[in-house]
């Protein structure tokens, strides 16, 4: 078990104490590093008074449900799944900037009776303090449903989450962020099962070829905008690799295949929101 610096060990202990204070909880569990650390801490603090809950829908990337099942078994926490149907909600599929709000609203709406069934007094999520500075409409839904964010309450950031994951020997310590597939679709472009499948298959193709950190963004005109770390740009420009990539993505339904020269960056779809806000203020 990896040793922790004294300040991180203190935050670990505070996290466990905070969860004990809830008495019982249901963890919104995506199998990402944040929610996995919260689930592990909940199991240590509360034992069988904690349950992990994974929402399952077309927006969940391939392999993530299997990861959730395996991780919950490794942690030793009870695991439940919920079939969410956000694609039936027009407010979600129209894909305005508040899309995540409608997704999380449905998730927490469905988690509430399940939490009650398992005598879980509190619903918790994996938000950390680094999430506070980003545009996160899902956090509004969390507030409306009185969902607690123990990592934020304990002043734990993403880097510290990864240190805790390594300390508890969780295999997701270095796992890249894996937000829902809908986050790849440009705002204003409709979210459909077909588009989600195109994105998922394209990203799986790239990951299978040694690019674990990748985003395939969907833009108007069935255009794919690929983000990879800048050190990997040269690999995608190799003629043989490039030809195979273009052929694969066009076979999936993309009309245009483009490479973003700025490289991989989480939340790049939100950059357009900042531009629109600036333009609005200047008018």
Per-residue model confidence as pLDDT tens digits over 28-81: 999 999 999 999 999 999 999 999 999 999 999 999 999 999 999 999 999 999
Which residue from 74, 24, 78 is spatially nearest to 54, judged by alpha carbons? 78
Buried (b) or exposed (e) across 65-101, using 16+ Cβ within 10 A?
bebbeebbeebebbbbebebebbebeebbebeebbbb
Residue 32, in any domain of the structure = yes
Q: What pLDDT does 278 receive?
A: 31
Is 122 a residue whose pLDDT tops 60? yes
Residue 282, in any domain of the structure = no
Domain finish residue from 167, 196, 231? 167
Contacts of 103 (CB under 8 A, 6+ apart): 59, 84, 86, 92, 138, 180, 182
Measured from the Cβ of residue 250, the count of other Cβ atoms closer than 10 Å reads 14
Q: What pLDDT does 269 receive?
A: 62
Q: How many domains does the chain have?
A: 2
Average pLDDT over residues 92-102: 96
Q: Where are the beta strands (DSSP E) in the chain?
A: 25-28, 50-56, 78-83, 122-124, 215-219, 223-227, 256-259
Average pLDDT over residues 243-257: 98
Say yes or no: 186 and 233 in one domain. yes
Say yes or no: 14 and 79 in one domain. yes
Q: What is the CATH number of the domain that holds 267?
A: 3.30.70
Say yes or no: 33 and 151 in one domain. yes
3-class secondary structure, 168: coil
Average pLDDT over residues 164-185: 95
Say yes or no: 138 and 240 in one domain. no
- Backbone angles phi and psi of 261, in degrees to 5: -75, -10
Q: What pLDDT does 270 receive?
A: 57
Average pLDDT over residues 216-243: 97
Cα–Cα distance between 93 and 189 in angstroms, integer?
8
Q: What pLDDT does 3 receive?
A: 85
Which residue from 255, 193, 243, 248 is spatially nearest to 219, judged by alpha carbons? 255
The mean pLDDT value of the chain amounts to 93
Q: What pLDDT does 271 receive?
A: 60
Average pLDDT over residues 88-109: 96
Domain finish residue from 140, 167, 194? 167
Q: At 277, is the pLDDT very low, low, confident or very high (cuts 50, 70, 90)?
A: very low
Residue 236: half-sphere exposure toward Cβ, Cα within 13 Å? 22
Cα–Cα distance between 226 and 256 in angstroms, integer?
11
Q: What pLDDT does 177 receive?
A: 87
Residue, of 185 and 278, whose pLDDT is higher: 185
Are 160 and 11 in contact, with CB atoms under 8 Å apart? Answer: yes
Q: What pLDDT does 274 receive?
A: 45
Say yes or no: 93 and 225 in one domain. no
Q: At 86, is the pLDDT very low, low, confident or very high (cuts 50, 70, 90)?
A: very high
């Amino acid at each position: 078990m990896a040793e922790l610096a004294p300040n991180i060990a203190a935050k670990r202990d505070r996290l466990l104490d905070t969860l004990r204070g809830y008495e019982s909880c249901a963890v919104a569990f995506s199998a990402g590093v944040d929610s996995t650390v919260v689930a592990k801490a909940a199991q240590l603090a509360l034992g069988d008074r904690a349950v992990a809950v994974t929402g399952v829908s077309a927006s969940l990337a391939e392999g993530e449900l299997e990861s959730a099942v395996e991780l919950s078994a490794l942690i030793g926490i009870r695991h439940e799944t919920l079939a969410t149907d956000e694609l039936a909600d027009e407010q979600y599929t129209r894909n305005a900037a508040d899309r995540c709000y409608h997704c999380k609203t449905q998730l927490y709406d469905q988690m509430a009776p399940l939490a009650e069934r398992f005598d879980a007094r509190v619903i918790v999520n994996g938000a950390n303090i680094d999430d506070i500075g980003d545009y996160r409409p899902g956090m509004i839904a969390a507030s409306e449903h009185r969902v607690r964010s123990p990592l934020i309450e304990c002043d734990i950031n993403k880097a510290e989450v990864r240190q805790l994951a390594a300390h508890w020997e969780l295999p997701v310590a270095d796992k890249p962020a894996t937000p829902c597939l809908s986050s790849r679709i440009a705002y204003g472009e409709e979210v459909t099962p077909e588009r989600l499948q195109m994105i998922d298959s394209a990203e799986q193709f790239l990951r299978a070829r040694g690019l674990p950190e990748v985003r395939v963004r969907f833009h108007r005109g069935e255009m794919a905008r690929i983000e990879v770390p800048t050190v990997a740009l040269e690999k995608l420009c190799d003629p043989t690799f490039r030809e195979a990539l273009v052929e694969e993505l066009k076979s999936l339904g993309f009309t245009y295949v483009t490479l973003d020269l700025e490289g991989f960056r989480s939340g790049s779809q939100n950059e357009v929101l900042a531009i629109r806000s600036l333009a609005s203020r200047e008018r």
